[in-house]
Amino acid sequence: MVISQSPFSAHEVLRLAEVAALLYDGLLPSEALREAGVPPHSFRRLCLEGVLHCIRHGVYVTGERWRAAGASERYRLLVRATALAANRQPVLSHHSAAVLHGLPIIGGWPATVHTVTPGASGGSRNRSTTGHRGPAPELVETIDGCRVTSLARTLVDVAASSSLLVGVTMLDHALRVGGDPVLTKDALYQELALVNPRTGRRQAEQAIAFANPLSANPGETLSRVRIFQLGFEVPELQVCFPGILGGNAYVDFWWRQVRKIGEFDGFLKYGMGPVLGDRDPGSVVWQEKQREDALRARVNSFDRWGWDLALTPERFSAFLTERGVPRA
């Protein structure tokens, strides 16, 4: 199919792009656009008009998809586009493998795509990619057409090269969700011994030791890491209180010594979405209030906090001190 070289409507471009994108799961290599009939000289104009978005040289996506994508999906698209454009398919590693494995992050994704370069004398970096020296991965998986390090290797690489918060957030999620085979701390320690990173081994060991599958979401992981870093006693997780409203109630954090409950409130359960489902928000808020009142009658104190507080160490430290959380 060939169309006129003169300007054409966004509708026509999107119709052609949809056909091309089927072959690349949403990505639009320039070659596929040309074959679909979009003239190369119009690419720049279409990007300026917001019809297309250039992810990296030679690879596009529809502007509508890019605008609707969150930070994780945008980085995932960048990773996939970089692998698609490479002359030799790389083995993606670190954060780039993590985003394809579906691991969460607190903070921003990197600006470059990370790869492992076995046998290299040292790491490398350019404007679009960061190469890491290291042993060849024993297991390479394929996700969305990309070659990536295994989940265990990815977690070890991230933990050894990132902050405790980033490493533990991904580890908590992976240990909680499981997989096939089920991921264990023993497997992570074995992978760490195989990788034997030149730097970051101790911080990877700390992250693995601190990780806990009972952290139900990244907000709880953030809270737990901050509590530890600020020098407070790390609480027990998901402790059961039986006989609450005719059933069992599990609390996020429990300081047994001072009989104190703490809960991270991400507000997701009060708004429309996958957590709430088709339940009425007012009913959910009322049920949560009844649950909290019943728990308060069993303990000495009960406190909640959210993202803004946990992300600000100084404020969170003052909050925990004022609420009587014991020091480690």
Q: Count the neighbouring beta carbons within 10 Å of the beta carbon of residue 39.
A: 15
The answer to whether 131 touches 120, Cβ cutoff 8 Å, is: yes
Q: What is the pLDDT of residues 90-108, one digit of tens each?
A: 999 999 999 999 999 999 9
Where are the domains positioned within the chain?
10-68, 72-210, 218-322
CA distance 321 to 315: 10
CA distance 115 to 82: 11
Residue 215 above 50 pLDDT? Answer: yes
Q: For the chain, what is the mean pLDDT?
A: 88
- Per-residue pLDDT band at 2 (split at 50, 70, 90): very low
* pLDDT at residue number 191: 96
* pLDDT at residue number 134: 82
Q: What is the pLDDT of residues 142-191, one digit of tens each?
A: 999 999 999 999 999 999 999 999 999 999 999 999 876 789 999 999 99
Sheet containing 247-255: order of strands: 236-244, 247-255, 260-264, 301-305
Dihedral of alpha carbons 287, 306, 224, 228, sign: negative
Q: What is the pLDDT of residues 232-277, one digit of tens each?
A: 999 999 999 999 888 999 999 999 999 999 999 875 444 444 444 5
Residue 28 burial (C-beta neighbours within 10 Å; 0-12, 13-18, 19+): buried
* pLDDT at residue number 240: 97
For residue 12, which of 63, 40, 65, 51 has the smallest C-alpha distance? 51
Is the pTM higher than 0.85? The answer reads yes
